[in-house]
Structure 1
Amino acid sequence: MANVANIKEKLLETIRNNIPLALVLSGEWGVGKTRLWEEFYEDNKNNFINQKKKNFENIEEDFIAKRYAYISLFGLDSLDSLKLAIAMEVQTSAIDNSALNVDVSKYAKKFLGFIGGGSTSGSNGDMRFGMNISNKLVTNIIMSHLKNTLVCLDDIERKSDSLPMSEVMGLVNYLKNERKCQVVVILHDEESEDRNYFDKHKEKVFDEVLILNESLNIIQKLIDDEQLFPIYKKFYQELQVKNIRFYKRVQKMFLIITTRPEHNLSFATKEKVLESLLIIMLAHDMPYFLDKNGYTSFDIFVKIFDENNIIHSDEFAVAEMSHEDLSDSIDQLSLNQARKSQSIKETLKPFYNNFIISERERIITSLLRDLEFNSELTAKVAKKDDIENNNSKINTLHKQLMDDYPDFRINPKFPEELYYMACSRFEVEDLNNLSFYCDVLKASNKSDLSDRLESHIKLFIQGKISASKSQLSIDDWYSFGKEPYDRFYDFTAEAINNHRTNNVSFDTIAEIFLRHYERGGWNDDDKTTLLSIDKSILEKVIWLNIDNNHRYRKPFIKSIISHPLLAERKDEIRQLVVEILQESIEESSSHLVAPIKIWLNDTDNLRNL
């Protein structure tokens, strides 16, 4: 793979030999060809380009000083305009009394005398005619003196169509063979008529073709951030995005988002922002990298990957896995979006698994689409990330402590670290484990920390139970049973009993039915509550909003009728449900009549569910 260092070494080796030649520096769009050449020139011009103006014709050195001309062909529309551009560049490097300048001055004076004795008062037509001849005259004079010159022709693909590739290559051949120049042509490696012509005739004109296909070290210099560069490197290597301009834009956008002093983003947050930014900027600037099967506009990309899109819902995933007919709730557009999403995710997978647009990513999309920086959302995301980062640190500490304890690798700060870790994990730890931590602290002669931790845990238990709107069971807290050493079981059971009341809210009843529907679970403690429900409560339960999708109404109703705690009232509950559904037929709009009638008829009024 030809990287920057290898190309520069080859260029220096070739050019310093002072042998007339023509070579091509090629590579994909934006890979850094021009930047490489500019760096190479700046690094080496003292060796082969004399910064002081000298008489090039009389210099005799092992490393001959050269004139230098860098020409962009952007917009040039004729061979004459290209020659003139080269001539003007070369003339600026000549000293005042050089043979070149002497000739230019002599012929210029003769020319001015020819068109009016040096007067500038001629007609516009005369002046245009004169300027045209003047340009050609100066060009021819300079071209006749042109030798030992290093010429770089860039932006070939941006020239006018009226300047054929054949004429450009003809001029290169002339400069090399007739004027003994060294010519470097920077050429974009992409299918085109000019490229096809070049490929067919390059052997006749060019001595060598150098292909730059590795630009990572250029990007590293641009980024100049050792901590974050590994993310850029992974993106570059996994997705093969080599465009220098792309990384410049990413870096600029990244600094806009992360350098605001009021946000003070953590390094972990900056990493997440950069990962998302690289993906979103790629979708915005170069969508063809992501979608190999066609073009995906940026707006479509944002819609597809928005976390609120139905294609990312559990409902959609379940329906796809079961090969159900999705036409009731999901249109063909969503199906197409899901397929496109999967295709793009496969492309991104080596760099980022399961990309989605959530709050953090919306900061970026808003900045790109609307040119608005959402400072409020950024602060919110930063705070959320800080919590996640802190949880990550706690989890790391937890793993370390749990690995060290059985191995007797306990450091002097172990009790304090264990206490801090335990206080941070009330929401996720089993009460048996929390009880165990109390015992460990006590065994470590830290009874004060043990008692303090136990007190905090009891306050946490009491607070959670008091805030609950559902009928709690001790099994909710001890799903894996009670360990012999546990010290919170009796306290929790008593707190639950004290919390129970006969005035159970509708939300509590709904929660009982939803729990059974979603997870198939139930608590015997809820039996009294369920046996007391009447038709009015049952009607509210039946029409609960379930995942915003009516396709799940039938299995939900079935789970109500078959609830284990209603076994002794099953037929009564079934009949109440039938009545509710029949009443809804009479009261509802026409689109619900047929489905309900058909379902009741097919199931013999819900007897055969």
Structure 2
Amino acid sequence: MGLVNHLSLEKNCKVVVILHEGEAGENFREYKEKVFDEVLVLDDSLSIIKDKISDIETFPIYEKFYQTMGVRNLRFYQRVQKIYHEIIKHSSSLSKLSKEEILRQILIIKLVNDIPKVLDIDMKELETYFSEDGLDDRLDIFLKSDDEALKATVRTKKDAVEEKLSKFYPNFRMEGWTDVVIELITDINIDDDRVEQLFKQDSINEAEFENDREKQKLMTEYNSLNISLNFNQRLFDNISRRINRETLENLGFHYNTLSRNGAQDLADKLQELIRQHIKEKVSESSDFWDVGWWYRFGRQPNDTFKDYIEHAVKERKVEINTNLDIATISRVFIKFYQHGNENLEFCEAIQNIDKVNLKTIIWQSIEDEQDRKLYIHKILQHPAFGIKTVRFNDATKINNVTWSFLENTNVYCISIFSYHPFIVKSKRDEVRQWTLELLQERIIENSNTRASVESWLEHTDNLNTI
């Protein structure tokens, strides 16, 4: 073993060792993984794996991984099984689908952690490429660069990895049980709260599966023209539990079905639940402000809910601009920083922020604290701050003023601008000045920040050249 290690590290040799592992000593079994980059078992490993795994329910997952990813190392599968049982022993109620999902996650993450050469990526790349929100949403943060050529190279590598993985797990994403799997693989104690949360989610999934089966029965009954007396109540009970999983077209269909069947009381209750769902989604994010988002497959004539969507969006815009919901505006800046999202629906609210609001926005938590300067840079670049507005000298917006004119046919109306001095300016200079003041205040609050703040301000000519 010492000779192999010497030849590999000191002489840069490629060493292949062929031996009968069953005849090897204890030292070999203990140190082989530290010395050898990869161990290949040159026999019918799959049959041995099947004997060792002894789990008929999940063996097809192991078999597909073995055949598509080419990993022959028995000890790899034994380690995977150990992690798998460590998770499922916490609950006997896990569904078959959840067990299969957990096992697939373990196999892929363990592969990258133990044998990174197979996919030619490390754990950081795996998490970045296959994060729940996708690569493009994280690319700027991952690379810390605006180099489009570099981004294209990363995307090409990600596509190559995804193609290899697709043979085993198409559309793989790091979500669900991923955090728990990583903790176990890296020998960190299991987060019991996280595990409990996932078990609850699994129970929710099981309830959804049952709900799906019941809906299928209802639709079969509907199309059979042989409908039971309690159909309307069963339909209402089923759809009211799946509103957030149905398209608006389907919800409108179910509402109309209840109404035509003479169950107007149930139709009205369902309509109220659907409207509440629309209002919640519109309040949650401006992504849901586009009527087209709700009708991805086209809107039926005389649709029941289109007007309500427009009404809910209008109310939400007024609410944000009137109350200046700083939590919402803070999320807008995070989205702009992360994804370049320039949603102009919030422009008026953004232009109305003051220094106190700006302080909340600047110092809110971001994913990578070392990028705080880049984040502040993005804030100052927001297009809403560049929009020019006409204001009087007292800072009142001209378009906010209500004018009253006395009609007199003998007097010509004189331009209001002749008597009310006004200026045309953007918010950016004001925001830049506030930012400078907030950075100076940060030095006073924490003197250890003086060097980093002052160095940055010198480098950017007091934020004029960022």
* Whole-angstrom CA distance in 2 between matches of 1:255 and 1:385: 17
How far does the alpha carbon of each residue in 1:258-315 deviate from its partner, in whole angstroms, 9 at most, with x for none?
244x45211111111221233345456xx34x41598x9xxxx555545799998656
Change (3 A) 1:412 1:383: same
Equivalent of residue 93 in structure 2, options 264, 271, 283: 264
Change (3 A) 1:575 1:556: closer
Aligned-partner residue type, residue 460 of structure 2: I
Asked if structure 2 preserves the Cα contact closer than 8 Å seen for 1:539 and 1:577, the reply is: no
Q: 1:577 aligns to what SS in structure 2? A: helix
Q: How does 1:176-255 map to 2 (within 5 A)?
A: 213-255=43-85
Asked if structure 2 preserves the Cα contact closer than 8 Å seen for 1:234 and 1:351, the reply is: yes
* Whole-angstrom CA distance in 1 between matches of 2:112 and 2:292: 48
Partner of 1:291: 117
Partner of 2:401: none
* Whole-angstrom CA distance in 2 between matches of 1:530 and 1:372: 44
Counting matched residue pairs gives: 382
* Whole-angstrom CA distance in 2 between matches of 1:29 and 1:543: 61
Backbone CA RMSD of aligned residues: 5.6
Which protein has greater RCO, CA pairs closer than 8 Å, 6+ apart?
A: 1
Displacement after TM superposition at 1:238 (Å): 0.7
Structure 1 segments unaligned to the other structure (5+ residues): 1-26, 31-71, 76-154, 159-189, 192-210, 331-335, 603-609
Change (3 A) 1:437 1:321: farther
* Whole-angstrom CA distance in 2 between matches of 1:539 and 1:375: 36
Partner of 1:324: 146
Change (3 A) 1:219 1:308: closer
Displacement after TM superposition at 1:403 (Å): 9.3
Change (3 A) 1:263 1:309: same
2:402 maps to 1:576: no
Partner of 1:551: 374
Displacement after TM superposition at 1:409 (Å): 6.0
2:112 maps to 1:274: no
Change (3 A) 1:555 1:366: closer
Structure 2 segments unaligned to the other structure (5+ residues): 1-17, 30-38, 392-423, 444-452
2:240 maps to 1:423: yes
* Whole-angstrom CA distance in 2 between matches of 1:281 and 1:479: 38
Q: How does 1:353-432 map to 2 (within 5 A)?
A: 353=170, 360-370=177-187, 372=189, 375-388=192-205, 390-391=207-208, 408=223, 412=227, 418-420=235-237, 422-427=239-244, 429=246, 431=248
* Whole-angstrom CA distance in 2 between matches of 1:221 and 1:372: 29
Partner of 1:133: none
* Whole-angstrom CA distance in 2 between matches of 1:595 and 1:396: 63
Between structure 1 and structure 2, the one with the greater Rg is 1
Change (3 A) 1:317 1:304: closer
2:384 maps to 1:520: no
Partner of 1:594: 458
Asked if structure 2 preserves the Cα contact closer than 8 Å seen for 1:363 and 1:378, the reply is: yes
How far does the alpha carbon of each residue in 1:343-402 deviate from its partner, in whole angstroms, 9 at most, with x for none?
86665442235666666244344445548555543322222233345556767887x699
* Whole-angstrom CA distance in 1 between matches of 2:108 and 2:455: 44
Partner of 2:259: 442
Partner of 1:51: none
Change (3 A) 1:458 1:584: closer
* Whole-angstrom CA distance in 2 between matches of 1:405 and 1:321: 55
Aligned-partner residue type, residue 278 of structure 1: L
Displacement after TM superposition at 1:508 (Å): 4.7
How far does the alpha carbon of each residue in 1:517-562 deviate from its partner, in whole angstroms, 9 at most, with x for none?
85333348x74x5665445545655666665433354443232445
* Whole-angstrom CA distance in 1 between matches of 2:87 and 2:330: 44
Change (3 A) 1:219 1:412: farther
Q: 1:519 aligns to what SS in structure 2? A: coil
Change (3 A) 1:495 1:302: closer
Asked if structure 1 preserves the Cα contact closer than 8 Å seen for 2:255 and 2:267, the reply is: yes
Aligned-partner residue type, residue 351 of structure 1: F
Aligned-partner residue type, residue 100 of structure 2: E
Asked if structure 1 preserves the Cα contact closer than 8 Å seen for 2:243 and 2:277, the reply is: yes
Aligned-partner residue type, residue 237 of structure 1: Q
Change (3 A) 1:213 1:567: farther
Change (3 A) 1:538 1:401: farther
**TM-score scaled by structure 2?**
0.59
**TM-score scaled by structure 1?**
0.47
* Whole-angstrom CA distance in 2 between matches of 1:369 and 1:473: 37
Asked if structure 2 preserves the Cα contact closer than 8 Å seen for 1:222 and 1:248, the reply is: yes
